[in-house]
Amino acid sequence: MARLPPVLSTDDLPLAELCAARIDGELFVIDEGWVPIDEPDLPGTRAAAAALRVPRRLIIERLSAAWVHGALDMPPRIAQFCVPLHERVAVVAGPRTSVREVVIDPGDVVELGGARCTTPSRTVFDLLRDATLDDSFAELVVARLLDAHAGSGDAVRARFATAHRLPHLALARARFARTQAREAASSTAPPAPASDQPSLTR
């Protein structure tokens, strides 16, 4: 008997069987996938679940990539994907899926769970330049990504050094500067003093 994939869909089992297994506590739902209860919630699992929405040649990006990399607890309501300009991929349209064409280097893409996803540093750079996001939210997600993935900050700084004439680059630099300033302030802040509790007297 063929082994089932770690992230299931209705292509693997009928919906009624998946729902019954969930009620029995054997499966839990993660984005578009159904996962055995003992399967760890890892980036590969999240990427495989997100990729069920679209052809596997598309790349998970921006907030969806941030979720895959652990910077968000829940996947975004509208899953975000991109496709390199030079690849011929049919347009995917849907109320819960967004796809855009981008210029992207092979080094900006990592394979997780059989799906393609932008690297943490590319995800940071994309979120910094996303003018549709609230500044405070974008900076919070970026801070979480940078904290969880050592070296991503250096990679983003190197990207800024060579980036020219990209949309919303000034916005990205300002957001990144604020994120770095808060990180520096939190790392140099003195520890909170211990509270002086008076002794009990009668």
Residue 51 belongs to some domain of the structure: yes
Closest to 176 measured CA to CA, from 192, 195, 194, 154: 154
Token pair belonging to 185: 């302030």
The pTM is what? 0.85
Q: pLDDT tens for residues 73-107?
A: 999 999 999 998 887 766 666 678 888 989 999 99
Residue 24 belongs to some domain of the structure: no
Q: pLDDT tens for residues 7-23?
A: 888 888 888 998 898 88
Q: Which pLDDT band holds residue 201 (cuts at 50, 70, 90)?
A: very low
Residue 21 belongs to some domain of the structure: no
Q: pLDDT tens for residues 150-200?
A: 889 899 999 999 888 889 999 999 999 999 998 888 766 565 555 454 444
Residue 153 belongs to some domain of the structure: yes
Closest to 78 measured CA to CA, from 57, 52, 99: 99
Closest to 82 measured CA to CA, from 61, 55, 64: 61
SS (HEC) of 137-192: HHHHHHHHHHHHCCCHHHHHHHHHHHCCCCCCHHHHHHHHHHHHHHHHHHHHCCCC
Residue 50 belongs to some domain of the structure: yes
> Dihedral sign, CA of 5, 7, 12, 17?
positive
pLDDT at 59 over 60: yes
Specify which residues 181 forms β-bridges with: none
pLDDT at 33 over 90: no
> What is the number of structural domains in the chain?
1
Residue 200 belongs to some domain of the structure: no
Q: Which pLDDT band holds residue 5 (cuts at 50, 70, 90)?
A: confident
Per-residue DSSP letter, 69: T
Closest to 12 measured CA to CA, from 29, 31, 34: 34
Number of H helices, E strands in the chain: 7, 7
- Angle at CA 45, nearest 5°, toward 40 and 48? 165
Residue 152 belongs to some domain of the structure: yes
**Segments forming the whole domain that contains residue 118:** 42-183
Residue 154 · residue 114 · CB < 8 Å: no
Cβ burial, residue 76 (10 Å; 0-12/13-18/19+): middle
Q: pLDDT tens for residues 107-144?
A: 999 999 899 999 999 999 999 999 999 999 999 999 99
Residue 12 belongs to some domain of the structure: no
Mean pLDDT of the chain: 86
